[in-house]
Each structure stands twice: as C-alpha cells, then as structure tokens.
Amino acid sequence: MKKIFFVVIILVLIVGAILVVGFWSVSSVAAKRDSIIDIRKNIALTETRKTNIRTLEDLLADINPQRQEAEKVFIYKKNLVDFVKELEHIAELTEVRLEIESATFSSSQKNLPSFQFKIKGDFDSVYRYFKILEVLPYQLSFDSLQMLGSGQEWKGMTRITLLSYIEKDL
C-alpha cells in the first residue's frame, strides 16, 4: 500500500511537472509569437518609411531643377556679395566705370537692401548698363535714376532696392 501511495504521488508530481513545463512552454511560445508579430510590424513600418523616403527623394530630384530656377529670382543674404560682383561684371561688359557709393542693409524685412552707385561712360554704354539691370531676373526697384552728360562723357546715378531679397538663407 505504501508503494502504491508513493507511485501515485510520484505520478502526480510527474504529471504536475509535465503540466508546469507544458504551461511554461506554451507561455514562452506565445511570448515569442507576440515578439515576432511586433518585429514584423516594425519591419513593415520601416519598409513603408523607406518607400516614402525613396518617393520623396525622387520627387525632390524631379523638382530640383524647377526649384533652382525659382531660386534664381531671389537674392539671399549669403548671395549679396555675388549680386555686387554681378553689378561689376555688367559694368565690364558694357564698358562703364562703376562706383558704388553706398549700400544699406537693414535687419528689418520692410527695409530691403539698397545700393546707390554711379556709372560713367558714353551714352550707349550707360544706357545699356541700365537696360541690362532692368532685365535681371531679380525684382529691382529703381528708386532714382539720372543720366547726365553730353558728347562722349555721360554719368548715370541710381539707387536700387532689392525687392526679391530674402533675409534667411536656405
């Protein structure tokens, strides 16, 4: 009788151990399954993000030439020196002497940068200089414009304001 009692207790303990191990195994598998589902969701989300990034990069590459063309109309803070060099280059092309008298730069967007300068040369050269300034891609306001002279020596005086100036750099 004692033997049967020990055998029953051992069998109950073995069955209990099997149930505990089985329950632990099922719980472990369920936890791993949940982990795998989370990982798959993260992978799907990451792939979607990569696809979106590629699409945006392609879109930016497609519109970049148009963006660059649009940006040529504006003068940014970092490009003011280039604008002055362009004024000097136009003076060389039209064979006039350029003398920049003043440049006013204000931090307020209402007070846009303005330049006051004189040019000297023959009538055709001075006229061509102003005509080229007029057709530059920037929006310029000619606040004052005078041409004085006679014969071969003409002088042009002007004050321009950069209407297409943007204080912030890209």
Question: Which positions ≥6 away from 116 have C-beta within 8 Å?
Answer: 100, 101, 102, 103, 157, 158, 159
In this predicted structure, what is the pLDDT of residue 170? 57
CA atoms within 13 A on the CB side of 10: 6
pTM over 0.75: no
In this predicted structure, what is the pLDDT of residue 129? 93
Token pair of 98 as six digits: 């350029």
pLDDT digits 0-9 by tens, 107-151: 555 668 889 999 999 999 999 999 999 998 888 889 889 999 888
In this predicted structure, what is the pLDDT of residue 169? 62
pLDDT digits 0-9 by tens, 131-142: 999 998 888 889
155: DSSP letter: E
pLDDT digits 0-9 by tens, 46-95: 999 999 999 999 998 899 888 888 777 888 888 888 888 999 999 999 99
In this predicted structure, what is the pLDDT of residue 105? 75
Cβ-count burial of 91 within 10 angstroms (0-12 exposed, 13-18 middle, 19+ buried)? Answer: buried
| Cβ count within 10 A of residue 75 | 24
In this predicted structure, what is the pLDDT of residue 104? 84
In this predicted structure, what is the pLDDT of residue 2? 78
CA distance 168 to 166: 6
In this predicted structure, what is the pLDDT of residue 107? 53
Token pair of 59 as six digits: 């879109």
On the question of pLDDT at 15 being above 80, the answer is yes
